[in-house]
């Protein structure tokens, strides 16, 4: 069991959890920075979590859903108040009634996660500060202490599974539910480099091409919220032309943006794409959360080989642009 101590201070209104692991600080930090890893232990085994948003930057937010053995669901959120990479981060943690909608009938709390090296690996100390003694008692009564013990007891397995999250593991698409897919890849470059490569037309035209043999003759990038973008591709001989257009609806350089997307010439609703860039060991974790209007459209698009095409583009980004 990684937890070495849990102490409660009723005067300071805090609960402190100390846990030790036989891995370097960087590896432990990345387990919290990468939503694919975080959701494997943020929640007891019988209440696993799914993160639909995870922006590990000051002002960023996380949305997660825990599902119980009988199908019961509990939404939660984090709002990042401070982030000091590989050292600490602080969040407001609370219950929600839907993604991004705090539950006014439940308390929120502040949590500070501090990371430090030890002789045998690393340690994370989590200090939770409650708004009142009544809130502390309420959450302890709800099983917060037992839940943290069960949740963090899963971390050794997550930390040992480095291969699944390494920089050379390629592009992966994870089905979160009927209408949400998270595409993830670690790209060998800094957050700033990857962001720039996604927003400079001349660079986009070098790497965002999918399979070999395609060109990108139209690359109009949206630069302000409310602006539109248009990307069009065609084969080298000029045939097979198609494209996408959409609106920039959130823009927070260099870590997050949200756009809409629809295929040019096609009727009906399109998708919403949430791009998040996070610094991790080996480069930058790119997470793209795609929201589809229906399960049928989701399955149709995935069946086109979307993930393979994205991997070809990201590999080209590494080899031809981020060199």
Across 50-71, average pLDDT? 94
d(CA 84, CA 153): 25
Q: Which CATH number fits domain 3-165: 3.20.20.70, 3.20.20.80, 3.30.530.20, 1.10.274.30?
A: 3.30.530.20
Compute the radius of gyration of the chain from its Cα atoms: 21
Burial bucket for residue 310 (CB in 10 Å: 0-12, 13-18, 19+): buried
Residue 26: strand, helix, or coil = helix
Residue 192: strand, helix, or coil = helix
The pLDDT, as a whole number, for residue 312 is 96
Sheet bearing 172-175, strands edge to edge:
172-175, 180-187, 283-291, 271-280, 256-263, 242-252, 228-235, 214-220
Q: Which fold has domain 172-321?
A: Alpha-D-Glucose-1,6-Bisphosphate; Chain A, domain 4 (3.30.530)
pLDDT per residue over 213-230, tens digit each?
Answer: 999 999 999 999 999 999
Locate the domains of the chain by residue range.
Answer: 3-165, 172-321
If we measure between CA atoms, which residue out of 144, 158, 152 comes closest to residue 36? 158
Residue 226's Cα: distance from chain center in Å? 24
The pLDDT, as a whole number, for residue 1 is 59
Asked if 3-165 and 172-321 have one fold, the answer is yes
If we measure between CA atoms, which residue out of 213, 212, 214, 194 comes closest to residue 203? 194
Structure pTM? 0.90
Q: How many residues make up the chain in this entry?
A: 323
The pLDDT, as a whole number, for residue 37 is 94
Angle (CA) 148 121 25, round 5°: 75
pLDDT per residue over 68-121, tens digit each?
Answer: 999 999 999 999 999 999 999 999 999 999 998 999 998 899 999 999 999 999
d(CA 163, CA 133): 43
d(CA 262, CA 292): 11
d(CA 90, CA 77): 13
Share of the chain above pLDDT 70, in %: 100
Structural contact between residues 73 and 64, judged by C-beta atoms closer than 8 angstroms? no
Token pair 């897919």 is at which residue?
181
d(CA 45, CA 39): 11
pLDDT per residue over 245-291, tens digit each?
Answer: 999 999 999 999 999 999 999 888 999 999 999 999 999 999 999 99
Token pair 């992966």 is at which residue?
172
Q: Which residues contact 269 (CB under 8 A, 6 or more apart)?
A: 262, 293
Distances (CA, A) of 187 to 78, 102, 172, 284, 287: 25, 33, 13, 5, 11
Structural contact between residues 131 and 142, judged by C-beta atoms closer than 8 angstroms? no
């Amino acid at each position: 069991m990684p937890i070495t101590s849990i102490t409660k201070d009723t005067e300071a209104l805090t609960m402190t959890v100390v846990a030790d692991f036989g891995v370097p600080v960087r590896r432990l930090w990345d387990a919290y920075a990468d939503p694919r890893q975080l959701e494997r232990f943020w929640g007891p085994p019988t209440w696993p979590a799914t993160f639909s948003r995870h922006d590990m930057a000051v002002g960023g937010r996380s949305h997660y859903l825990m599902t119980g053995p009988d199908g019961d669901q509990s939404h939660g959120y984090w709002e990042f108040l401070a982030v000091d990479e590989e050292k600490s981060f602080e969040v407001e943690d609370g219950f929600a009634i839907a993604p991004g909608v705090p539950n006014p009938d439940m308390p929120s709390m502040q949590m500070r996660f501090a990371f430090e090296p030890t002789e045998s690996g690393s340690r994370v100390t989590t200090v939770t500060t409650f708004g009142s003694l009544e809130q502390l008692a309420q959450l302890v009564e709800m099983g917060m202490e037992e839940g943290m013990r069960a949740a963090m007891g899963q971390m050794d397995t997550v930390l040992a599974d480095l291969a699944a999250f390494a920089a050379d593991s390629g592009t992966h698409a994870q089905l979160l539910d009927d209408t949400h897919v998270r595409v993830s890849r670690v790209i060998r470059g800094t957050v700033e480099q990857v962001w720039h490569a996604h927003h400079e037309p001349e660079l986009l035209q070098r790497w965002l091409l999918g399979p070999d043999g395609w060109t990108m003759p139209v690359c109009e990038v949206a630069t302000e919220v409310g602006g539109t973008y248009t990307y069009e591709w065609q084969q080298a001989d000029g045939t097979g032309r198609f494209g996408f257009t959409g609106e920039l609806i959130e823009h927070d350089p260099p870590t997050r943006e949200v756009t809409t997307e629809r295929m040019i010439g096609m009727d009906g609703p399109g998708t919403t794409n949430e791009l998040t860039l996070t610094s991790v060991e080996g480069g930058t974790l790119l997470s793209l959360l795609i929201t589809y209007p229906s399960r049928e459209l989701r399955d149709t698009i995935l069946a086109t080989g979307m993930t393979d095409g994205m991997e070809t583009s990201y590999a080209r980004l590494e080899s031809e642009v981020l060199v």
